Structure 1
Amino acid sequence: MSTSKAGAATSIRRRRRLLKNHESLVALFQLAADVVLASLLMYFLTQLKFDDFPSPYRVLTVLSAFGLWFIYSSNGVYRRFSGYLKGCLRLTSSWALLMLLLALIGFVTKTSEIFSREILLTWAFSVLILQNASFCLVSYLSKKYKENFGRHLPVLVIGTGSVAEHLVDSLNKNRWLPDKVIGCVKSLESDDTLTVANTRVLGGLEHIRNLIKEHDIRRIYIALPMKASEHIEGLNIDLLDQNVDVIWAPDIFALNLLNHSVREVAGVPLISLNESPLTSSKVSTVMKGVMDRSIAAIALIGLSPLMFWVAYKVKQSSPGPVFFKQDRHGWDGKVIKVWKFRSMKLHAEENGEVKQATKEDPRITDIGRMIRRTSIDELPQLINVLQGTMSLVGPRPHAVAHNDYYSDKINAYLARHRIKPGITGLAQISGYRGETETIDKMEKRVEYDLAYINNWSLGLDVKILIKTPMSLLAKDIY
């Protein structure tokens, strides 16, 4: 091939999309059906009560339709199937999030009073029940259709390691894909002791051509560790004449990832290994900010009597200011002032070292011990949320001195700053509140913080906020 022809071929290849959209038609149908169902039910209920479809209810219906489509799509309500119960829970939490956002919009715009509570409550619960019933019915019918009429696609997986095992499990459980895993093939890099659960290891690479003919294989997944990536090109070339689809499942999980994702720019596939969730999804960031500030404003108003009482008791407990402001690292490592009720007597740190509070710490006042145990001392951080320096949910901000100490002792410790710090977080509701007197405890807190960043969604924020009051009953907070 001449140089000009080779260049033209390369140009043509670059213009093709390398990342394809594999959205399920059934999932899209379910999503569209739920939007129509919610809209029709609102119309039916208003007709029953008013014999009309008033303008405010039309606006609410349109907002609900757009919100439902966005939230359900973002949370992947119908894109993955892990059982009827988990599917219903995922659907319910997404619907609850939509209702919360609509309630916040009504509160902020002062329009909630113009709606009939009877209609709204009936509508909210009826739609939820009908959506769950529809989900279970469509899931059952699609499962039966796949079992009885679906065309199975015989599949081989090259690899016998952890990535191959996870891939096989995911393919077998995915109700949308026709792929049926026949077995696995050991690669040159495979360890003979490794096996894939519930799947046969049919042989090595030297047997792959015979296996393709014997089982009429139509698709092959390459699930090899990163160290074996040099063999992938040779495997692809060797399989070109076999009339099979060859798909590479790179073992990027062997790396220390943070909010990883895959996208494309001008036809070039890009794998984000380390990215802040607050920069990768602008729409979700705006929605998180709106939710944070709305709830913080409502909470400050509702909790103001308690906060005034605590401020009075703190002022009486010992000389000093009511509030304690400490330098802590925030989003992208910027130093912020974090507000708290003062729970200790005024004291000087020895050698400038910030010492964490311990059990029976003489520096803690009587009111301080109570507000620390119940986390009431953290309530002024609602002001930080209104300022935009903190979020309601996120990794807890640590003192600058603690960050300097732990940053070179715990792997990826500073990666927790890739998202705004929060008043509460996944680590806190999982039992890692209070003193972290050992490296192991801090490592577990960081592990949960990174898990939160990797799985961040508005639904997860709502779940953590709901669970936070129960976590306040912990006995190990000083």
Structure 2
Amino acid sequence: MSELSHTKATFDELRSRRNKGFPFAVRASGGVEFAFWLQWVVATVVQCSVLIFLGIGKLDGDLASHYRLLALFSSLLAIPVFALFRAYSIRNGYLVGVARVLASWGTLIALLMFIAFATKTSDTYSREVVLQWILIGFAFQALAFVPLHKVLRRMDRLHRFANASVIVGCGDLALTLAVKLRHERGEAMIGLVCLDGDQPDNERPHTPYFPTLGVVSQLRSVISENSVSRVYIALPARETDQIEGLYVDLLDANVDVVWVPDFANLKLLNHSIHNLGGLPAINLNESPLTSYPGGAFLKSLMDRALALIGLLVLSPLMLCVAASIKLTSPGPVLFRQKRHGWNGHIIEVLKFRSMRVHDDSHARQAKKDDPRVTPVGRFLRRSSIDELPQLFNVLKGDMSLVGPRPHAVAHNDYYSDKIIAYMARHRIKPGITGLAQISGCRGETETIDKMQKRVELDLDYINHWSLWLDIKILIKTPLTLVSKDIY
């Protein structure tokens, strides 16, 4: 118990500092919101100051009304954009935080340019002022972000560490939760409290980091002796009576009570909790495109803009590829195949034809040294150039740049009853590239295990989807284009 004593001494020291007036500005409740709005206010002051300074300098002391309007629009539009990218999250490291600020600022500038183009007001702004504002504005925002982010992270860490918490439960869920709270959230998790009669004293799990402090009947004394401020209940759903009894018993104990339901046996998809008319509603399965409509709109906007740019830039290459296919083997240039899209709707996916014309009724995957693949097609498949026509699918709205790869309908029919939650991968638009592809799960899936791994990565992408994740996958994709597993 020496480590526990040392931890308690640290808690006491931090509490004494707090009681003496230590500035714990980041609260457990609302700390994320406070950090965001503080960073936003600072960033707004910085970027508006830069714009005003540059505008006045260019216009000899008189700031035109359209520059004031630009400052107002950029400030307000920054709220949803920076929130979407989680640019000001205190969970970010410094480099990741600056990168997210850069991505947010770039997206904000792109939206402002689109608005200026659509309203035909771009000519009213000095290109010199706007370009300097973009570069200097980001530089100053980054310089202001780093020290403020450091202070907020330290305040958050001290606050979390100064408030001890315990977990009621000694099962796998409790241990997993303890690790997450200690290492991912930095909370002062001092130990576990088991159910009465759960295990004999000498068989209860006990680790140096998460010691067993007692049983439920001793919970009051555990809270008092260790100055616990938060109790997590990590019990199976079958223990409803025990959970209700704990809740009622702790109502007057002056502690926060958090119930972490055990859904270990359920395959959750983008799960979340909402307030539904005063009732807690747990979403077990929800598409990111419906739960984050603002993010879905920006994802679609980014997809179609980049697809259009890609088609314009790559059109000479695509014309050369089309000519080489036509000259080297009889048949159409494009291969069209029915595949499942968002929510299971059938879409027609386009690819450059890389095989000789054959009966495709069984939708057999290409294998190593597959005789159906043409010499030109082999190069196209190895370099993934055969996927370029799917930019038209993205432009049409059937696909996204990033998402689970669409499989042939015959493959889906085969795997849907062999892999749990296989069809759940269609809860988001299919993509040209995806998390599975940059993680090495490309090419033939000749075994159930290989397809299972790909599905797990697809579901992991859906559960953690964000615009920032899409950008990271797009950046990493060129590094994985040449793979020995592609036939």
Q: Classify the TM-score, shorter chain.
A: 0.7 to 0.9
Where does residue 91 of structure 1 map in the other structure? 101
Q: In the TM superposition, what is the alpha-carbon distance from 1:238 to its structure 2 partner?
A: 2.7
Could you give the per-residue CA deviations for residues 266-312 of structure 1, whole angstroms, max 9, x where no partner exists? 11111111011111122222222222111111211111111111111
**Alignment partner of 1:342 is 2:353:** yes
Where does residue 225 of structure 1 map in the other structure? 236
Could you give the per-residue CA deviations for residues 331-382 of structure 1, whole angstroms, max 9, x where no partner exists? 1111111111111111124xx3211111211111111111111111111111
**1:134-173 matches, cutoff 5 A:** 134-142=144-152, 152-172=162-182
**Alignment partner of 1:215 is 2:226:** yes
**Alignment partner of 1:354 is 2:363:** yes
**1:225-244 matches, cutoff 5 A:** 225-244=236-255
**One-letter amino acid matched to 2:168:** I
CA distance in 1 between counterparts of 2:483 and 2:145 reads 38
* Equivalent residue for 1:183, pick from 174, 191, 201: 191
CA gap 1:115/1:188 in 2 versus in 1, 3 angstroms: farther
Given that 1:94 and 1:459 are in contact with CA atoms closer than 8 Å, whether structure 2 keeps it comes out as: no
What's the C-alpha RMSD, in Å, of the aligned pairs? 3.0
CA distance in 1 between counterparts of 2:52 and 2:441 reads 48
CA gap 1:421/1:55 in 2 versus in 1, 3 angstroms: farther
Q: In the TM superposition, what is the alpha-carbon distance from 1:148 to its structure 2 partner?
A: 7.9
**One-letter amino acid matched to 1:264:** N
Given that 2:85 and 2:468 are in contact with CA atoms closer than 8 Å, whether structure 1 keeps it comes out as: yes
CA gap 1:129/1:311 in 2 versus in 1, 3 angstroms: same
**Alignment partner of 1:277 is 2:254:** no
- Unpaired runs of 5+ residues, structure 1, are 1-19
Q: In the TM superposition, what is the alpha-carbon distance from 1:55 to its structure 2 partner?
A: 5.5
Could you give the per-residue CA deviations for residues 29-75 of structure 1, whole angstroms, max 9, x where no partner exists? 11222123222222222333343545554454444323321122223
CA distance in 2 between counterparts of 1:149 and 1:248 reads 21
Where does residue 458 of structure 2 map in the other structure? 449
Moved more, 47-56 or 417-426: 47-56
Where does residue 65 of structure 1 map in the other structure? 75
SS in 2 for 1:370: helix
Where does residue 287 of structure 1 map in the other structure? 298
SS in 2 for 1:303: helix
Where does residue 316 of structure 1 map in the other structure? 327
Q: In the TM superposition, what is the alpha-carbon distance from 1:81 to its structure 2 partner?
A: 2.1
**One-letter amino acid matched to 1:313:** S
Given that 1:159 and 1:186 are in contact with CA atoms closer than 8 Å, whether structure 2 keeps it comes out as: yes
CA distance in 2 between counterparts of 1:224 and 1:375 reads 48
Moved more, 304-313 or 112-121: 112-121
SS in 2 for 1:185: strand
**One-letter amino acid matched to 1:158:** V
CA gap 1:143/1:259 in 2 versus in 1, 3 angstroms: closer
CA gap 1:262/1:435 in 2 versus in 1, 3 angstroms: same
CA gap 1:293/1:87 in 2 versus in 1, 3 angstroms: closer
Moved more, 76-85 or 33-42: 76-85
Q: In the TM superposition, what is the alpha-carbon distance from 1:254 to its structure 2 partner?
A: 4.7
**How high is the TM-score relative to the length of structure 2?**
0.84
**How high is the TM-score relative to the length of structure 1?**
0.85
CA distance in 2 between counterparts of 1:186 and 1:329 reads 48
CA gap 1:229/1:139 in 2 versus in 1, 3 angstroms: farther
* Equivalent residue for 1:77, pick from 87, 98, 121: 87
CA distance in 2 between counterparts of 1:395 and 1:249 reads 30
Q: In the TM superposition, what is the alpha-carbon distance from 1:408 to its structure 2 partner?
A: 1.2
Given that 1:226 and 1:254 are in contact with CA atoms closer than 8 Å, whether structure 2 keeps it comes out as: no
CA distance in 2 between counterparts of 1:346 and 1:197 reads 65
CA distance in 2 between counterparts of 1:429 and 1:215 reads 47
Moved more, 242-251 or 365-374: 242-251
CA gap 1:193/1:359 in 2 versus in 1, 3 angstroms: farther
**1:187-198 matches, cutoff 5 A:** 187-188=195-196, 192=203, 194-195=205-206, 198=209
SS in 2 for 1:347: coil
Q: In the TM superposition, what is the alpha-carbon distance from 1:106 to its structure 2 partner?
A: 6.4
SS in 2 for 1:184: strand
**One-letter amino acid matched to 2:49:** L
* Equivalent residue for 1:367, pick from 352, 376, 381: 376
Moved more, 316-325 or 139-148: 139-148
Given that 1:159 and 1:190 are in contact with CA atoms closer than 8 Å, whether structure 2 keeps it comes out as: no
CA distance in 1 between counterparts of 2:485 and 2:190 reads 51
**One-letter amino acid matched to 1:413:** Y
**One-letter amino acid matched to 2:270:** N
SS in 2 for 1:218: strand
SS in 1 for 2:365: coil
- Unpaired runs of 5+ residues, structure 2, are 1-28
CA distance in 2 between counterparts of 1:67 and 1:163 reads 41
SS in 1 for 2:366: coil
Q: In the TM superposition, what is the alpha-carbon distance from 1:221 to its structure 2 partner?
A: 1.8
**Alignment partner of 1:247 is 2:258:** yes
CA gap 1:371/1:39 in 2 versus in 1, 3 angstroms: same
**Alignment partner of 1:329 is 2:340:** yes
**Alignment partner of 1:127 is 2:163:** no
**Alignment partner of 1:475 is 2:478:** no
SS in 2 for 1:252: coil
CA distance in 2 between counterparts of 1:369 and 1:379 reads 15
Moved more, 318-327 or 217-226: 217-226
Identity %, equivalent residues: 49
Could you give the per-residue CA deviations for residues 135-163 of structure 1, whole angstroms, max 9, x where no partner exists? 33223334555688999333322123454
CA distance in 2 between counterparts of 1:259 and 1:140 reads 30
SS in 1 for 2:251: helix
Q: In the TM superposition, what is the alpha-carbon distance from 1:401 to its structure 2 partner?
A: 0.6
CA distance in 2 between counterparts of 1:41 and 1:164 reads 50
Aligned length: 455
Where does residue 23 of structure 2 map in the other structure? none
